[in-house]
Amino acid sequence: MKFKFPISLSQTLKSQKRLRRILEKNLLQPAIGRPKKARRPSARIVLSEVTGFGSNPGRLSMKLYVPSRMTAKPPLVVLLHGCRQTPEGFDAMSGFSALARQCGFVLLYPQQTEANNPQRCFNWFRPSAIARDRGELMSVRQMIDFTCGRHRIDRSKIYVAGLSAGGALTSALVATYPGLFAGAAIFAGMPLGAARDAMSALRAMKSGVLRSPGEWGDLVRTVSPDQKTWPPISIWHGTDDSVVNLSNARASVFQWLAVGGINADAGRTTLKPWGELTQWRFKNVVQVSFYSLKGFGHGLPVHRTARAGQTSRFDPYILDASISAPLTLLRIWGLKR
């Protein structure tokens, strides 16, 4: 008796091979590394606008980022943007709020308005704007006090940094309220007292101002004559900065060395891939640091891998470098986990 198969044996074997391949592709592939389902992108960090923080004589705006997880008494970092910048653009490109979320510190952005300055520059060159307890300086002080009260900030861990006009305002803040800050950083900024109006500010930015180290120091001592100790400060500047002359960085270094009574010849210089780092110690603590960035222009140096939270926004004053200023500041300020 003969049996007739509906299909040949070779056809059956081919069908079994096809079935095996389908099973391997759909059922067995996870064991050999099938691509995982793509994760949803994390939510973009949003800075909150705060009103009612004080009398606000400088008519500034206040932006704040408070991470969901932080210690009972978190640190506070104050960031001052440069001309034509906004806190949102500055933050998106620098990644500071992403670092705040990771490390658990509160982030404060004072913001200049076009009503105060058409280019949104802080008015660091106007005596009325940077006088003690007046103008823009007082507005920033009120923002800090408000944030400290609202979020139980550790007042021994308040830090300030600024870029360009924001760096110049940082100089004025530290000179006027030195006991308020545990550390400061000036990026492509100006020394205190470099100008008294818009025209002299432009000249100083372009060519610098010729003064002796003692004269630069006297400008700070006049503002806070009874101050004995000063927060550690770092000055950052690119050798190819075409907006603010490099001589202004040297003047800032001389200013803070003179204030601290530190001999300029006592600095120790180390060659780095990105340029030179010179540090001056006082009582075994690095008091003044100068980051001279070789071939670097006008802006904040940020390494690509440090740009957590970056969006598609573009800021011409946040520049790629082989050193990350945000990460370096967190390290020297002891904020990085």
164 an active-site residue?
yes
What distance in Å separates the CA atoms of residue 193 and residue 111, rounded to the nearest whole number? 22
What distance in Å separates the CA atoms of residue 59 and residue 144, rounded to the nearest whole number? 15
Q: Are 238 and 274 in contact (CB under 8 A)?
A: no
Closest CA to 68 of 146, 147, 149, 151: 151
What distance in Å separates the CA atoms of residue 57 and residue 50, rounded to the nearest whole number? 16
Closest CA to 309 of 318, 317, 322, 299: 318
Choose, from 164, 234, 289, 324, the residue flagged as catalytic: 164
DSSP 275: E
Q: Are 139 and 54 in contact (CB under 8 A)?
A: yes
What distance in Å separates the CA atoms of residue 246 and residue 199, rounded to the nearest whole number? 19
Residue positions annotated with a catalytic role: 164
